[in-house]
Every structure is written in C-alpha cells, then in structure tokens.
Structure 1
Amino acid sequence: MRLLMKSLPLLFVLLWTGSGFAVAADYQVTIAGMKFSAPPAELHVGDVIVWRNDDIFRHTATARDKSFDIDLPPKSEGRMIISRAGAVDFYCRFHPAMTGKLDVRP
C-alpha cells in the first residue's frame, strides 16, 4: 500500500505532462476538384482520419491493400482510426486516377 501511495504522484505527473504517452490526433483529408488533399506527414497508429468530400460527385477512400474502404457521398465525411503502421496507397473506386498515400508510424 505504501508503494502505491508513493507511486501515485509520479503516475499523475507522467499522465498530466504526457511524458511517455502518445496522444491520438485527428486529421482531415479533403476531396475537392476531383483530388485528394495531401495527407498529413505525421500519422501514427491510433490517429483518426476524417475523410471529407466537398465535391458534387460520390467518391471513396479505398486502400489498395483492402484495409479500409470509406464511402463518401457528395458533401459528406467519414472517419477511420488508423490501425497499423506502414505505407498504404489509396484511391477512389469511382475515379481511379484519384490517388494518395498514407505513411503511418507506430
């Protein structure tokens, strides 16, 4: 019990300052003018990507490795949590010339 009481202040400081703990972040990738915006350079496992379709056409954000497939009707958005590290090429199933790449770190 004593050890626990002595450890609590240190645990509180670590949690409060964020030392040693990664905090997930939200990022947005927008589709406009039949193009994906540039994905963020600093993606990590656990981060959230909000895919936003500002076009008047239906699009998808589809991973070539089939790890995700987000359907995006016009003027809509979809969210996904990044679940693994590595490079993932993506495209729109309806417009295959629309492409991009996510580089995800652990």
Structure 2
Amino acid sequence: MKAAMYGAAVAALLLGSAAAPSQAETIKVTIDRLVYAPAEIAAKVGDEIEWINKDALVHTATVEGGADVLLPAKKSGSLLLQEPGSFDYICRYHPNMKGHITVQP
C-alpha cells in the first residue's frame, strides 16, 4: 500500500512540474519596397507566418520544391509551419527578394 501511495505522489509531482506546452505564435513579415522584413525568421512547428504585402505588386513566398504562398498587392497570406528545418524562400516574380526561415521542433 505504501508503495502505491509513494508512486502516486511521485507521479503527481512529475505531472505538476511538467512545463506547460508553448503556445503557437503568428510571426508577421512585412513586404515593403520589394523587401521581406524581417528577412530572417526563427519559429517552431505549429507557428504561423503571415506575410503582409504593402507593395502595389503581387509577390510570393516560395520555397523551392515546397510551399508557395501567393501574396496579392496590398493583401496578406499565411503559412502554418508543419515540419522542422531550415528553408530559404524567394518571390517567384522578384527573385532578388530573399528570406530565410528556421523551424525548430
């Protein structure tokens, strides 16, 4: 009986001291004058990136072989990050526009 009570007490302590899961975030990237700002993003799986296009031109946030988010002029678009890794992205229409996302698990 004592062993069962001890085990329950240890389990309660472990559960009580466990860190609460972190909340997903929305990371905002502004596009203004053909520039992503910030150009470097650090995020976690489950976070969302929202690109806000302030230009009068259509842009994209395109990862080669991966995500391709269309960003109409004066509008926004978003992407839910679903896998860890390090990703460079560009605008398909203006390849001089470059950004980088590092996604932690």
> Which residue of structure 1 lines up, in the alignment, with residue 23 of structure 2?
23
Give the direction of change, closer, same or farther, for the CA distance of 1:21–1:39 in structure 2 (3 Å limit).
farther
SS in 2 for 1:23: coil
> Which residue of structure 2 lines up, in the alignment, with residue 104 of structure 1?
103
Task: List runs of 5+ in structure 1 lacking aligned partners.
Answer: 1-6
Q: Is the 8 A contact 1:59 1:72 kept in 2?
A: yes
TM-score, normalised by the number of residues in structure 2: 0.79
TM-score, normalised by the number of residues in structure 1: 0.78
Moved over 3 A (4+): 39-42
Q: CA deviation at 1:41?
A: 4.3
1:1-106 matches, within 5 Å, as 19-39=19-39, 41-64=41-64, 66-106=65-105
Q: Deviation string for 1:63-97 (max 9, x for gaps)?
A: 12x32101111000011100111100000000011
Q: CA deviation at 1:42?
A: 3.4
Q: Is the 8 A contact 2:36 2:98 kept in 1?
A: yes
2-structure distance, mates of 1:39, 1:22: 24
Corresponding pairs, count? 96
What root-mean-square deviation, in Å, do the aligned CA atoms of Structure 1 and Structure 2 show? 2.3
